Structure 1
Amino acid sequence: MVGGVAREHGRRVTMIPGAAMDRVSLLWRLRRRARRGALCMAFFCVSMALLYAICAENSVPVTDAIFGVRARTRAQPRTHSVVKVLRGGAKPVVDPQKLPGVVPGDPRRPIPVLSSPNHTHAAGAAASKRKSREPSGFFAHLLPRPFTRALETLFGGRRRGELSGRVWDDEMSSSMLGSRLRKVVQNYQAMNKYGVEVSGPGGVSSRPKLRGPELLCQLKNKAEVATLTSDLLPFSSLPWAAQLPSKPLTSDLGPYRSCAVVSSAGSLRYSGLGKEIDSHDAVLRFNAAPTSGFEKDVGSKTTIRLINSQVMASDDHRFLSSSLYSSGALVAWDPAPFSADLTQWYNRTDYPIFVQYQRYRRLHPLQPFYILHPLFEWQLWQRIQDNMAEPIQKNPPSSGFLGTVLMMSLCEVVHVYEFLPSRRKTELCHYYQRFYDAACTLGAYHPLLYEKNLVKRMNQGSDRDIYTHGRVTLPGFGRMNCSRAADH
């Protein structure tokens, strides 16, 4: 060998010195490790994206499997194992808590929401003419849905949300819901817990579709806001009758010039609407929605707080001791059976509303406190059903819709915030809690989807107001001239 060149069987072979050989070997090993590292990182990213997609689709079972049951129950109690006995009787009925997505009925537990996000498949213009948007492309046909969602997440594709387009479409229907929520709605239809008797033109596709002014007048003429007074039977014969107001709410409160109805939606977070909300003459809030710490987004003024009987009965909401409820007037409600009179309802309430009412009145005798007449709730339900092309849930309307109509009876103009979601739409259920579920926007127990359809049709503001501020503008009943609509 001369100069690093040798001959082997007549062939020239270049010999690499030992030190150079070590450097080449080290470089080769580093490159191999880098390639392996890149492959591992890519696999890790795909796995995390896939896990994210699966968790979003099945949050409760996956969370339980990964983090354990206790981690999830800190935010939401389990919705099983408690058989609810309804309306004071000793005979247990079908346990609604064993149905998917049903709000449980144990007043000692916090009020949970549904367990996992659900996504609609709808987009486009009119609901009757649009087709569901499904993932398209080569991989969409070969891979299961979680994999396609993972690829969308990885490569920046927009996740299919609960809503599509810029603003709420007033032809939303249950056919646009995912399978989980559709099953929940079907369960409630089958249960008919309140013995609802369907009548009127609604529930069929051929129903007449009323315009906004006609809807408003129908609401004004056929859904009267009423509250319990001390002269009503059976309350007038009870020892605590004096604790009830002597006059209905509409005689004691208002009239107000402008009012704000502030939903508890998660899309209010980072909205910056606090000053605008507080600029109204009266502000209505719901249940346990706080203002402290969220003033920039939801304001601080509270004129009326509408609460359901489940909040009143829940130990976790500290209804009797929390200062949250001590400002403004309180209005409570509890659903009665559809055809029940006041005596039947008094003996068969969903939650102990009258017991809690008496306790609170003894602690706060000077604070205005009203209870909605249950007939008002079912009158509203009938207005919703009459104007929808399919059967709605046979359960009372949501607090949001009850509060909206309540303020329309007290105010000249009502602005409703984030009842129809804005561009900030999110699966976050409440602005003050970290829990996500599409059912908070689309409804499950309440016919919320259809309530939003009705509000959208009655809206007198612009679509841009909804998109940018989540703000709907509705007229007060006192300013409406319904003689022409009545003649029609």
Structure 2
Amino acid sequence: MGYKIPGAAMDRVSLIWRLRRRARRGALCMALFCMTMAVLYTLCAENSVPVTDAIFGVRARTRAQPRTHSIVKVLRGVGAKTIYVDPQKLPGVIPGDPKKPIPVLSSSTYAMEGSHKDHPFRRRDREPHGLLSWLLGAPLRRALETILGGRRRADAGGLKGDAEFFGPNGALGEIWDDEMSSTMLGKRLRKVVQNYQAMNKYGVQLSGSERATRRHKLSGPELLCQLKEMVQITTLTPEMKPFAGFSWASLLPQRPLTSDLGPFKTCAVVSSAGSLRNSGLGKEIDSHDTVVRFNAAPTAGFEKDVGSKTTVRLINSQVMASEDHHFLSSSLYSTGILVAWDPAPYSSDLNEWYNKTDYPIFKQYQRYRRLHPQQPFYILHPSVEWQLWRRVQDNMGEPIQKNPPSSGLLGTVLMMSLCDVVHVYEFLPSRRKTELCHYYQRFSDAACTLGAYHPLLYEKNLVKRMNQGSDRDIYTHGRVTLPGFSTFNCTHTFTSSTFSKT
């Protein structure tokens, strides 16, 4: 005869089992609640600044934005192609604290240095195999990726209004119109541009005359003379204060870049635009005496379209500081001449800028110079950026973003001071115009062409007006032809009184 459990003991066992079931249910409910809140948290942080600030506060949004992209990487699974997000271009990222930029780099570009046969764009796309990806299934996973900002290829075009700029019947037309205005943008990008215009992170203050609308539309030669007279290309040297008092000042070049380099006959400024893909411009680009590239743009695997020669690489301080770019160890940066830049407050001197850089440019500069003491490496004087910005603003009929110009325009003007003729490729989009941001990545957004953080729209207007080549060159090759500053004389035609003084 089996042992019979007393009634009181049975009640206790039954109670324990009930408690265990309730605990399991509670844990499951809590997990589902946490997952829901996490999605809401990252969704708001990435796409809705007012909602996030109201619910979580600015500090919460600042922390959440980088995590959004980490979640997308988990959704795609280990080994899948991760997205790259540049906070200076992505419209969805709007810093909450104007004094502190938000680094949200989530994948590296240096990894694209692989051989032609290994390049991810040469292979057939594969579905990711992560555990969470498998559990969710493809439709739900892609829906979450879209919501969280991990857009792919042409699916990443944003709102319908932005996509309408591209294609044979797009609002951009065959050739860039130098009268492009923010009023022509779609609702999403127009709002983003307005947000950046109002943000004024760098404390831009314009005088009454500077705030006035432009006096008249300057011609191409007038614009060229204005740039020549009012934008002085300068790089840091050891005798400049406060650097003269630092032990590492000897790491800076003894002479400015314009004294060490050039003059060159022909120069190619190669943008990183997605429209360079399938262009076949590689041989033409390499035929120039000097070739300029930007940030982490690779050549390996893309030689047919972008060439293989790199003479100068212009990099921003964010690329230097990001662990994802492996600036100190990647072979991408170890060839050619490096020129770095970091935006300073609008009216600051070098001492104030040194203590208030966007990213730790000087720390990284010292580290790199000690690893590569023989490689020429210059730092652009921050006044160059704002001198150029004022030229763009002064020649537009509406306020532009109060953020420094793009690396593309900086590099173009830099080479105009060193070369007789400058050819700029795909800064103005050709017939291959696309929402694909970079030729070496899959991230797509109209803002990479039309501008968000940088006043790209207005920069392109300026370059189009100065172009001395034909519209056919732009349409077929995305090629703009600009003269070097040394090749034309403004003395007899224009005087400095022609231009607004700033």
The correspondence of residues 140-155 of structure 1 with structure 2, limited to 5 A, is none
2:217 equivalent among 194, 209, 217 = 209
CA distance in 2, matches of 1:68, 1:366: 41
Task: Tell me what 2:82 maps to.
Answer: 75
Task: Tell me what 1:462 maps to.
Answer: 470
Deviations 1:230-259 (A, max 9, x none): 110000110100000110000001110000
Task: Count residues with an aligned counterpart.
Answer: 379
Q: Name the CA shift for 1:107/1:348 in 2 (closer, same or farther; >3 Å).
A: farther
Deviations 1:55-114 (A, max 9, x none): xxxxx98xx9xx96734796337899xxxxxxxxxxxxxx94359xxx962277558999
Which letter does structure 2 place at the counterpart of 1:97? P
Asked if residue 354 in structure 1 is aligned to residue 362 in structure 2, the reply is: yes
**Does the CA contact (< 8 Å) of 1:203 and 1:389 recur in 2?**
no
Task: Tell me what 1:117 maps to.
Answer: 157
**Does the CA contact (< 8 Å) of 1:120 and 1:160 recur in 2?**
no
Which letter does structure 1 place at the counterpart of 2:445? D
What secondary structure sits across from 1:335 in the alignment?
A: coil
| Percent identity between the two aligned chains | 69
Task: Tell me what 1:191 maps to.
Answer: 199
Deviations 1:184-209 (A, max 9, x none): 11111111000001247666656311
What secondary structure sits across from 1:97 in the alignment?
A: coil
Aligned alpha-carbon RMSD (Å): 3.2
Which letter does structure 1 place at the counterpart of 2:95? Q
**Does the CA contact (< 8 Å) of 1:229 and 1:246 recur in 2?**
yes
CA distance in 1, matches of 2:84, 2:439: 19
What secondary structure sits across from 2:492 in the alignment?
A: helix
**Does the CA contact (< 8 Å) of 1:170 and 1:453 recur in 2?**
yes
Q: Name the CA shift for 1:221/1:278 in 2 (closer, same or farther; >3 Å).
A: same
CA distance in 1, matches of 2:355, 2:412: 28
What secondary structure sits across from 2:95 in the alignment?
A: helix
Report how far residue 422 of structure 1 moved: 0.1
CA distance in 1, matches of 2:450, 2:434: 12
CA distance in 2, matches of 1:227, 1:79: 25
CA distance in 2, matches of 1:464, 1:361: 43
CA distance in 2, matches of 1:79, 1:183: 18
Which letter does structure 2 place at the counterpart of 1:105? I
CA distance in 1, matches of 2:451, 2:150: 10
Gaps of 5+ in 1: 1-59, 81-94, 124-132, 135-156
CA distance in 1, matches of 2:160, 2:456: 15
Which letter does structure 2 place at the counterpart of 1:76? I
**Does the CA contact (< 8 Å) of 2:466 and 2:482 recur in 1?**
yes
What secondary structure sits across from 1:478 in the alignment?
A: helix
2:397 equivalent among 384, 389, 398 = 389
1:275 equivalent among 275, 283, 304 = 283
CA distance in 2, matches of 1:319, 1:202: 39
1:307 equivalent among 306, 309, 315 = 315
What secondary structure sits across from 1:485 in the alignment?
A: coil
CA distance in 2, matches of 1:212, 1:452: 13
What secondary structure sits across from 2:269 in the alignment?
A: strand
Which letter does structure 1 place at the counterpart of 2:416? M
Deviations 1:158-187 (A, max 9, x none): 7874x4311000000100111111111111
2:426 equivalent among 418, 422, 439 = 418
CA distance in 2, matches of 1:164, 1:227: 36
Task: Tell me what 2:229 maps to.
Answer: 221
Q: Name the CA shift for 1:114/1:286 in 2 (closer, same or farther; >3 Å).
A: farther
CA distance in 1, matches of 2:334, 2:449: 28
Asked if residue 237 in structure 1 is aligned to residue 235 in structure 2, the reply is: no
Task: Tell me what 2:259 maps to.
Answer: 251
CA distance in 2, matches of 1:357, 1:303: 19
Deviations 1:17-48 (A, max 9, x none): xxxxxxxxxxxxxxxxxxxxxxxxxxxxxxxx
CA distance in 2, matches of 1:258, 1:463: 20
Deviations 1:130-152 (A, max 9, x none): xxx99xxxxxxxxxxxxxxxxxx
**Does the CA contact (< 8 Å) of 2:451 and 2:457 recur in 1?**
yes
What is the TM-score with the length of structure 2 in the denominator?
0.70
Q: Name the CA shift for 1:72/1:344 in 2 (closer, same or farther; >3 Å).
A: farther
What secondary structure sits across from 1:416 in the alignment?
A: strand
1:479 equivalent among 478, 487, 501 = 487
CA distance in 1, matches of 2:278, 2:167: 21
Deviations 1:254-297 (A, max 9, x none): 11000000000000001000000000000000000000110000
**Does the CA contact (< 8 Å) of 2:84 and 2:443 recur in 1?**
no
CA distance in 1, matches of 2:72, 2:421: 49
**Does the CA contact (< 8 Å) of 2:82 and 2:107 recur in 1?**
no
CA distance in 1, matches of 2:300, 2:225: 38
| Structure 1 range deviating more: 275-284 or 476-485 | 476-485
Task: Tell me what 2:18 maps to.
Answer: none
Q: Name the CA shift for 1:274/1:203 in 2 (closer, same or farther; >3 Å).
A: farther
CA distance in 1, matches of 2:108, 2:364: 17
CA distance in 2, matches of 1:254, 1:291: 23
CA distance in 2, matches of 1:200, 1:418: 36
Gaps of 5+ in 2: 1-45, 48-67, 88-92, 110-148
2:95 equivalent among 82, 97, 107 = 97
**Does the CA contact (< 8 Å) of 1:203 and 1:388 recur in 2?**
no
CA distance in 1, matches of 2:493, 2:373: 43
**Does the CA contact (< 8 Å) of 2:266 and 2:419 recur in 1?**
yes
